[in-house]
Amino acid sequence: MDTKISIDAANKTFGDGERQIVALQGVDLDIGSNEFVTFVGASGCGKSTLLRCIGGLETLTSGSITVDGSAISGPSVDRAMVFQHYSLYPWLTVMENIKFSRLLQVHRTDITSADVEVASGRADALLDLMGLTHVRDAYPNQLSGGMQQRVAIARALLPRPQILLMDEPFGALDAQTREVMHDLILHVSKLEKTTIVFVTHDVEEAIYLGQRVVVMAPRPGRIDSIYPVELPAKRDQDMKLSTEFMQQKKAILHRIRETAGMRTDYELLERMTRQAEQQQ
């Protein structure tokens, strides 16, 4: 497997003096080209911070993150980000939102009219891929949450990024729409051959989408364990009901609870419940 992203002894600290918060400590991980890696863990374990460091939106305190051997120095068109909140421009149509970043570049660089035509063709193809052709001239407030997120993903994919970074992109969607988006992003990852790093609180989502599930632990944020996902490359929703899927989900959930220090609390609650029953 060719390494696309290499994270080496990554540390990130916010604040100074007694108010320091260690968001990341000693994170080491290699992510392969075209690999789909998902990150889970309790709140405050540094998942989103690590994603933002890969995207160049945050700078490490020490350590390094490289893409194809080159150190990250800031945001790049090779790395696109999709967030939970769609951040669409309400005064622009669906097509205009998708093409916005490319049109902005026209005014800042020497992009030619031919380049713009290519981008327009790419935008048309992405509209079709995302099932948005029929709403190309609609405005964001006329779309459902799922459709708005499809627009955001299409916008991120327009410049053909090598890496797609997704921070809980489906967290605000209902269960049925999430399932549709799961299958859509799996299809996109195969078609576009994009390396995807995906942060989520949903363990079931992490297993269904990922080739590896990375569990992060809090205080300080670090990688605790990595679970390879032994599912066929072609996936369907029925797989979530299989014994293998349920066992892996149980194991990962258990590990997340342990890393968050929740296991002792559960055991204490069980003891208190037994004592109360005995006293009755």
Predicted confidence (pLDDT) per residue in 234-265, tens digit: 899 999 999 999 999 999 999 999 988 765 55
Per-residue CA distances from 35 to 91, 97, 222, 248 (Å): 36, 28, 21, 20
Strand-by-strand arrangement of the 163-167 sheet: 79-83, 163-167, 195-199, 36-41, 212-217, 222-228
Quick count: other Cβ atoms within 10 Å of Cβ 208? Answer: 22
Q: How far is CA 226 from CA 38, 105, 157, 193, 213, in A?
A: 10, 39, 28, 23, 6
Between CA 14 and CA 11 the distance in angstroms is 10
Please state, rounded to an integer, the average pLDDT across all residues of the chain.
Answer: 89
Can you give the residue ranges of every domain in the chain? 3-78+161-278, 89-158
Longest dimension (CA), the chain: 81
* pLDDT category of residue 19 using cuts at 50, 70 and 90: confident
H or E element: which one contains 189?
helix 175-192
Candidates 3.40.50.10710, 3.20.20.80, 3.40.50.720, 3.40.50.300; CATH matching 3-78+161-278 = 3.40.50.300
- pLDDT for 150: 92
Task: Check residue 272 and give its pLDDT.
Answer: 66
Per-residue tokens: 210 = 């990922």
- In this prediction the pTM is 0.88
- Crossing angle of helices 145-157 and 94-106, rounded to 10°: 30
Give me the sign of the Cα torsion angle 164, 210, 84, 155.
Answer: positive
Confidence band for 16, pLDDT divided at 50, 70 and 90: confident
